Chain A
Amino acid sequence: LTPEQFERAAERLRNPAPGSRIEAAKRYGVDLTLLIEQLRLTPAERARKLERAAKVMAKYRGVARRKRS
């Protein structure tokens, strides 16, 4: 995203227009501030974050599996 695109998207998420899908998502319970934080990252940074989360999950799954056996 260009800085302008990011600012426009962030503003829409901070102040959803009445009747918008963003407003509906907010009412549904989506934390829009977390989406803004995600959009602040580049796709590559989001991908790296996903990789890190996957590794942590794999580690905990391994611990849980060893405890069961």
Chain B
Amino acid sequence: MEFARLIQALSDGTVEFAVVGDIAVVHGSRHAEMMLDVCYSRSNANLGRLVSALAPFHPGPRGFPADLPFVWDEATLRHATVLTLRTDLGDIDLLAEVAGVGAWEEVKAHARQVDAFERHVPILELAALIRSKRAAGRPKDLAAIPELESLLEALED
């Protein structure tokens, strides 16, 4: 998994996106999954930028045979609110909205710029990340909440 190269590709491609998932390690958590979860603007221009940014890394649907026909273009993005993809750099989930937070505009409002991966990366703030984990409700999400909540409390002004 090459988080940095994927994030740099999105950032350098001027994609409007925010990292929303288990990359909470950047906030100080020890919980991390080896995939990148990203929420993105659904504007037509941004869909084009997202397609161009990831195309060099050959995205395809994760969990399906590699030879399954798949077209990586703006129409594919437009017709899916969740895309779980594998790329040459690792796995990435593309989300039109985040449970417990909302669609792109809400996610954008709750993201903060963090200097990491040699870029200014928009990352979902801790309080919103906790809401998303609670809303997702999977055992692994719920298990991460006590640690995230203690970080939030420790960092409060």
Q: What is the interface of chain A, defined by CB distance below 8 A to chain B?
A: 1, 5, 8-10, 12-13, 16, 20-22, 24-26, 28, 30, 32, 34-35, 38-39, 42-44, 46-47, 49-51, 53-55, 57-58
Contact = CB atoms under 8 A, between A and B. Distances in A.
A46 B28 contact: yes
B115 A35 contact: no
Contacts, number: 90
Interface in B80-138: 90, 114-118
Contact of B3 (A5, A16, A39, A51): A51
B28 A21 contact: no
A42 B118 CA distance: 12
A2 to B, nearest CB: 11
Name the interface size band of chain B.
20 to 34
Interface in B15-63: 23, 25-30, 32, 34
B28 A50 contact: no
B43 to A, nearest CB: 28
B66 interface: no
Contacts of B32: 50, 53
B131 to A, nearest CB: 14
Contacts of B2: 51, 54
B4 A47 contact: yes
Given A20-B153, A24-B149, 15 more contacts: A9-B154, A9-B155, A13-B150, A22-B154, A30-B147, A32-B150, A35-B154, A38-B28, A38-B29, A39-B154, A46-B28, A46-B116, A47-B25, A47-B26, A51-B2
